[in-house]
Structure 1
Amino acid sequence: MKAENKVPKLYSNGETWRSVNLDHPSTFDTLAMDPTLKKELMDDSDRFVKRRDFYRTIGKAWKRGYLLYGPPSTGKSSLITAMANHLKFHIYDLELTRVQSNSEFRNLLVSTANQSILVIENIDCSKKFHNRKHEEYNNGGKQVSS
């Protein structure tokens, strides 16, 4: 009953997470998507939520990942919102260009709530990552490394 009344929130990062109520009408009912794929996604997410205790029993982290890709305005954000509304999960929208260090990145990740969706948009072009194997690599805790 508590989960049914939960209002999903949208969090965005600065030095800490800031939130607003997620007041977006996108649901699986309103989503324009292949019906078979939509059902598979809904069944998969529902099955995942029901198996939380199973993950704990076998000693695995209770998390699920999806890689969404495609050109702008093809419904990726609407799908994420529909999933959040369906599951009553919060959304954490992580803007990598605002993250200045590995420790800040780690702090943001560990401060996300359970039963939430972490979104990292445009991960392929958000930030120039430094490769630890590169001879000029000198992290010093000041940059996010790959």
Structure 2
Amino acid sequence: MCTRKIQSIKNEKKVLKLQSLGNYRGVNLYHPSTFDTLAMDPVLKKEIMDDLDRFVKRKDFYLKVGKPWKRGYLLYGPPGTGKSSLIAAMANYLKFDIYDLELASLHGNSDLRKLLTRTTNRSILVIEDIDCSIELQYDKMEGTTRVRARS
């Protein structure tokens, strides 16, 4: 059997995990959200799915050019607008585990580095409420506004 077929079968049977970084035990993720059940603009849904497909297919390209194989999305909106359901649909679609990271629990860059090394390949890292995790300090200097993040 070819390697791609074996990997495809493994992915079909994979039980997704939801893990909280900082907590060593994850839980099985049985979220019913899929792109078929997601209530969102069909054109936008297709664009996201196409982007995810293109990203997964280009893993070897990233390796060849020496770039990290990662993709980022910024989801924003009030509670209850489907951000978590979209993340679950993406995880179910890609068969990726989800890691939840709360920045407020970190004391510095070394803590972040340690936590990130515990994530597995083929995973989604969720940083919720990033705008509430840091205190922003504004300085006026020479007619320019600088933003300094303080944790």
Report the TM-score when normalising by structure 2. 0.81
Find the aligned partners of 1:127 and 1:59 in 2 and give their Cα distance.
32
1:103 aligns with one of 101, 110, 113? 110
Report the TM-score when normalising by structure 1. 0.84
Q: Which residue of 2 aligns with 1:73?
A: 80
Gaps of at least 5 residues in structure 1 are 131-143
> In the alignment, is the contact (CA less than 8 A) between 1:90 and 1:116 conserved in 2?
yes
> In the alignment, is the contact (CA less than 8 A) between 1:84 and 1:90 conserved in 2?
yes
1:115 is the counterpart of 2:122: yes
1 or 2 for the larger relative contact order (CA 8 Å, sep ≥6)? 1
Point out the structure with the larger helix share.
Answer: 2
Q: Which amino acid aligns with 1:106?
A: R
1:126 is the counterpart of 2:133: yes
Find the aligned partners of 2:135 and 2:42 in 1 and give their Cα distance.
38
1:7 aligns with one of 4, 15, 37? 15
Q: Which amino acid aligns with 1:18?
A: R
Runs of 4 or more, structure 1, over 6 Å off, are none
Gaps of at least 5 residues in structure 2 are 1-8, 138-148
Q: Which amino acid aligns with 1:40?
A: E
Point out the structure with the larger strand share.
Answer: 2
